[in-house]
Every structure is written in structure tokens, then in C-alpha cells.
Amino acid sequence: MKIILLGAPGAGKGTQATKIAEKYGLIHISTGDIFRANIKGGTEIGKLAKSYIDAGKLVPDSVTCEIVKDRLSKQDVIGGYLLDGFPRSLYQAEELSKFADVDLCLNLEVDPALIMDRICGRRVCACGESYHVSTLNGSTTCAKCGGELYQRDDDNPETVKARLGTYNVMTAPLIAYYSAQNKLATVVCGTKTPDEVFEDVCKVLDSFQK
């Protein structure tokens, strides 16, 4: 399967992506992780990406599309992959169609009122695991690898508001774009736990594979 994972910031894409990739044997491709690695490494792309991310804006399409195109040219994605964080605009979706043919766009729908708490309370680990402070009971280490948890620089109220505004203008129209191609499946997250959401996701993917 070749899947796009769509949803507003804080919808739980990272958590679900990890579960989906593991169960269905897919390569998880996160543009956010690629950019953060470049930011940490101090590369030119990393510096450029950071200037936009810190302002709650999207990284320029030209940079993002080239990174994804290069990643999808690798041999390890032949068996299937999950795109997390791309495409984020109609332009990116149209560019993606020029070098990849995705099977399904999975949209995670969440009430915007819940998103602020989710993001600002998020703590992540370098291994890719994500937690919320309400479930950590004061712990500052990752249950999976023991690494130190941290809060991303862009997980603050001001940046979140800007990101949501950007999402509504540029990314939400992708729902209509993939729906018109009969490639859209929506899972309503609401106040469900990550495991409950994953059960709903599996129902969609299992049905798609039949």
C-alpha cells in the first residue's frame, strides 16, 4: 500500500503512523522528521526550514517536493510506504502525482478545540515516540528506548495558532482533492484513545486490502 496520512497539527498523525507502519510493513516517511534531522545537523536546508517552521509557516514547496521525490526513489519503499506530513497543499499533491501513484489518503479528523492541548502538552523522543504530559506521571524518559523526552520548539500556543490557520487555508482543500479521486477515507478521532483510533484505522485499511 502507498498511503498519505492527512490531518491537522495535533491530530495524532505521528502516533498512528508508527502503528500503521509496524502492522502493515510500510516505510514511514515523515517530512517533519527529515527537516528536523537537517535542522539538528545545521544543513542549509535545515536552516531554511527552521526559519519557516518557527514562524508557523510551511517550508517552500520546491524544497519539500524535491526531498520527497528523492526519498521515494530509494529501493526500500518498493513494498509500500506511508507519507506523513506530505502533501500539504494542492500544488504538492499535483507534484506528487507526477512521480508517485498513491492508493489511499487517510484523513484523521479532530475537533480543533482539542488540538491546542494536544500539541502544547506533547513530549517527543528522538526515536520517534510521542507522549502527552497527562500520561507521563512526571516521567521525562521514553518508555520505548529510555531516551530523554523533550518539547519541540514549535509546540507553543502562538505557533500552533499560526499552523492551524495555515492548515485551514492550504491543506484542508486536499480532502476534496482526494475525495474527488475516490481515494479518501476519514477516521474521526474525537476524544478516543490512540488505540481506539488505531482500531478504526485498521478497519479502513483491512477493508481497502480486500
Catalytic residues: 13, 88, 122, 152, 163
- Other C-beta atoms closer than 10 Å to the C-beta of 90 total 14
Cα distance between residue 154 and residue 9, in whole Å: 11
Q: Which of 2, 1, 3, 210 is nearest to 106 (CA)?
A: 3
Cα distance between residue 32 and residue 199, in whole Å: 25
Cα distance between residue 174 and residue 92, in whole Å: 10
Q: Supply 144's cell numbers.
A: 520505548
Q: Is the dihedral of CA 47, 174, 168, 164 positive or negative?
A: negative
Cα distance between residue 37 and residue 130, in whole Å: 16
Cα distance between residue 159 and residue 174, in whole Å: 22
The continuous run of DSSP H or E covering 184 comes out as strand 184-188
